[in-house]
Structure 1
C-alpha cells in the first residue's frame, strides 16, 4: 500500500523548514512533499490539484482559493556595494529617482508607480535581474527574503520605507479542508500537539473509586430519625 503524501508548494524566498520539521514529528507516516514553484504559477498549481496547498505571495488571483495571512515581508532595494544608498540605513522611493530600477516579470510587489527610470526590457526572472544589478545595469526592489535568496558578495540591500510590502499567505482550494489540511493549518498557526477542537472526554472512574465515593456519601448523609413502631396490644 502506498504511503499517503501531502504536497505543499512554495514560492522562491519562502522557507517552510520549521513547519516541515513539526509536520514530520507529528505525522511521521504522512510524507510532506515540498514543491518549489515560480511565483506566477503557484496559485494555478493549487487550483489544478498539482499541490494540496501553497505558501505564496499576494497579490494573486483568489478565484477558487482560500488564503490565510502568515507574515508581511520587508521590501528592500538591491544595489552594488559601492552605490550611494549604502550610506544610509534605510531609503525612500524618492532616493532612487535618478536610477534605473528593474522590474522582473515575476515581481509580486503591487506598485502604483515604480520608482526611478524603467529599464528598456523587463527581465524574465528575479534571478536574471540580480545578475543585471551586479553588471551595473540598474537596481532591483524585492521582498527581503528574495534579496537573501540571491545573495552575492558584490551586492547588498537597504530597506525602503514607503514601498509596497509583500504578504505571504497559506492558500488551498475552496471548500471544506481535509484532515491533513487542518493539520497543516494548525502547525503553521502554532497550535500545540495537544490543541484540539474536540471536547475533552471526562476521566474514567475506577470501580473501586466509585465504591469509596458511594460509601463516603452515605456516611456523610444526614440521618433520618426512626419512629418507634408499636404493635397492637390487647388490653
Structure 2
C-alpha cells in the first residue's frame, strides 16, 4: 500500500543575506514532524528547484516566470561598501553620481539588477572577482568600491570597511520561489509561514492575488426618499393615507 505521508524533510534553498531565524521557529512549531533543512546556495542556483533537489527557496528576484512561481517578500536598500576612511563615509547617504570617479568591483555573483553597463557608476574594473566575499577583500585593499544589497554588506562586515545607502541605485528583492510543477501542501505551509498567516488561517490550494476590497457606498442623504423599501412595513407614516381600521371589541 503506497505511503501518502508527507516527506520527513522540507528542503529550502536560501541565498546569502537572508535571515531565517524567525521563520525556522514558526515552521518548527507548526510542522514538528517535518524537519526544515535550510540549504545555503549562491544567488544563481534556482535551477535546483526544477530538479527536485529542494521544495522551495528564498531567492533573489526576479526569476524565470515560465518555470517558477514567486511571492515577493521584501525589497532591500542598495549600499556601496568602501574603506572606513573613504570620503563617501562622511555622508549619511550618497547617489550614483557621487561614485563617478570610482572603480566599481563587479563580482561574478552580483545580484544588483543593473539595466545595462551605462547605469553602473564609475568605471567597472577589468577583473571581475569570482564572489562577493572576494570583492570585499579588494575593497579593503582599496582596489575599488562594491555595490550590494544591505544584507550582504552586513554579512561581510569588516571593521576596516563601512557602507552607505545609494539612494538611486536599483533595489534588490527577495521572494519565496518554487517550481510550477512541484506545488505541494508543504509549499503552501511555507507560504503561510513567510506571509505571517496564523496556524488557523484558511489556506487555498494555489496562491492567488488578493482582490481589492470595495467599500459599500453610503447613499446620499435624501436619495431614497419617496421610494418604497421592499419587505419593510411600519415605521413613521408621512402625509395622508388611509388610517388602519379599528378592530371591534
Q: Determine the C-alpha separation between the residues in 2 that align with 1:162 and 1:179.
A: 40
Q: Return the structure number with greater helix share.
A: 1
Q: Determine the C-alpha separation between the residues in 1 that align with 2:203 and 2:136.
A: 46
Which of structure 1's runs of 4+ aligned residues deviate more than 4 A? Answer: none
Q: Determine the C-alpha separation between the residues in 2 that align with 1:7 and 1:85.
A: 41
| Deviation per residue, 1:188-228 (Å, 9 max, x gap) | 11101121248xxxxxxxxxxxxxxxxxxxxxxxxxxxxxx
Tell me the TM-score normalized by structure 2: 0.76
Structure 1 match to 2:31: 27
| Deviation per residue, 1:55-101 (Å, 9 max, x gap) | 01113333311001000000000000000011110000000000101
1:164 to 166, 170, 177: 170
1:82 aligns to 2:88 (yes or no):
no
Q: Give me the CA root mean square deviation.
A: 1.6
Q: Secondary structure in 2 aligned to 1:109?
A: coil
Structure 2 match to 1:192: 198
- Equivalent residues in 2 for 1:118-133 (5 A)? 118-133=124-139
Q: Are residues 150 and 176 of structure 1, via their aligned partners in 2, closer, same or farther at CA, if it must alter by over 3 Å?
A: closer
Tell me the TM-score normalized by structure 1: 0.80
Q: Determine the C-alpha separation between the residues in 2 that align with 1:63 and 1:22.
A: 30
1:59 aligns to 2:62 (yes or no):
yes
Question: Runs of 5+ in structure 1 lacking a partner?
Answer: 199-235
Question: Runs of 5+ in structure 2 lacking a partner?
Answer: 205-249
Conserved 8 A contact 1:68-1:170: yes
**How far did 1:176 drift?**
6.7
Conserved 8 A contact 2:71-2:176: yes
Q: Secondary structure in 2 aligned to 1:67?
A: strand
Q: Determine the C-alpha separation between the residues in 2 that align with 1:20 and 1:168.
A: 17
| Deviation per residue, 1:85-129 (Å, 9 max, x gap) | 111100000000001011101111111321011111111100000
Q: Determine the C-alpha separation between the residues in 2 that align with 1:135 and 1:173.
A: 41
Q: Are residues 185 and 197 of structure 1, via their aligned partners in 2, closer, same or farther at CA, if it must alter by over 3 Å?
A: closer
